[in-house]
Amino acid sequence: MTTSTFGQTPKTIGSVERLDPAFDKLVPQGAVIEVLGEGFKWSEGVCWIKDKGFAVFSDIPPNKIMKWDPKSGISLFMEKVGYTGKEPFVSPTPEPGTNGLMLDPEGRLVCCCHGDRAIKRIEKDGKITVIVDKFEGKRLNSPNDCVYKSNGDLYFTDPPYGLPLREKDPGKELDWYGVYRLGKDGKMTLLTKEMTRPNGIGFSPDEKTLYVAQSDPEAAIWKAFPVKADGTLGDSRVLYDATKWAKEMRPGLPDGLAVSKDGNLWATGPGGVYCITPEGKILGRVNTGQRTANCKFGDDGKTLFICADMFFCRLKTNATGTNY
């Protein structure tokens, strides 16, 4: 694991691909994908801790949460959160650590935990609370990503990626891979089980649409669900289909995502990060050339942090994330 050297020309990877003139307003000319750290096993789940002024992200295989501070670079933030070692596995799971990370309305870090098949919260005193690990008495598969609605409800996805044998794992208790809502009142609701591999998740700025990525090589898509007044979901539509890019061997699949205040979706997919309008038009791509797992806005609100396989990167944009 290495950190970019301060005061020197930063290492960069990939390129910015402009597919529509509107993208020039979102990503300035000359913008580069700057490497902030490298050498990770599989970087994921980046989250900006605004009141602390640093980012955290998951390195899933070694079961670590890493930290990037603009003053000091990369360091270990916490370990053994995703998997505590208590879960009995038939065979070792290759992805035991945390995946998606985000702050709850009180500023506490919430973690999707593969190995322990749960969503946990790190309290202000450092203690860890399990928020949810079952649906109707059955164990979740491996919560992947999550997002809070402004009313305090938590929406999350539950594919099989943290299970040792994934969909064939004998410990799997649910026959589907769902999108769920954990209400502020503690009530769990299965919102949909129509997606084969639900992954990244996020709301439109007005919270009237829920976007969900599907990391299925046979249907590498992003879906848009209308959010009803009661918080449940209406009939979905395919926002964008990137299956052809996956078939052309661009590395990676639809995974994590971020939404900017202008309503555009910044979504990791085959080859990098796709910028997609609410109508489903692709404006441009941030081509990392790597399997790209996640992206979120942070720092000044216009910096897009990107987890791309062994790399942790940033891209300066003119867009602003919805959490700012």
Using CA atoms, how far residue 232 sits from 149, 191, 229, in Å, is 12, 6, 7
In this prediction, residue 4 carries a pLDDT of 55
CATH of the domain at 88: 2.120.10.30
Task: Give me the tens of pLDDT residue by residue for the chain, a chain 324 residues long.
Answer: 666 544 567 899 999 999 999 999 999 999 999 999 999 999 999 999 999 999 999 999 999 999 999 999 999 999 999 999 877 766 678 899 999 999 999 999 999 999 999 999 999 999 999 999 999 999 999 999 999 999 999 999 999 999 999 999 999 999 999 999 999 999 999 999 999 999 999 999 999 999 999 999 999 999 999 999 999 999 999 999 999 999 888 999 999 999 999 999 999 999 999 999 999 999 999 999 999 999 999 999 999 999 999 999 999 999 999 876
For 108, the domain range is: 41-268
In this prediction, residue 93 carries a pLDDT of 84
Give the total number of structural domains in the chain: 1
pTM as predicted:
0.95
- Structure token pair of residue 221: 């898509």
The answer to whether residue 18 is domain-embedded is no
The answer to whether residue 301 is domain-embedded is no
Residues 9 and 6: their CA atoms lie apart, in Å, by 8
In this prediction, residue 2 carries a pLDDT of 61
In this prediction, residue 323 carries a pLDDT of 76
In this prediction, residue 90 carries a pLDDT of 60
In this prediction, residue 312 carries a pLDDT of 98
- Structure token pair of residue 77: 């933030």
The answer to whether residue 23 is domain-embedded is no
The answer to whether residue 19 is domain-embedded is no
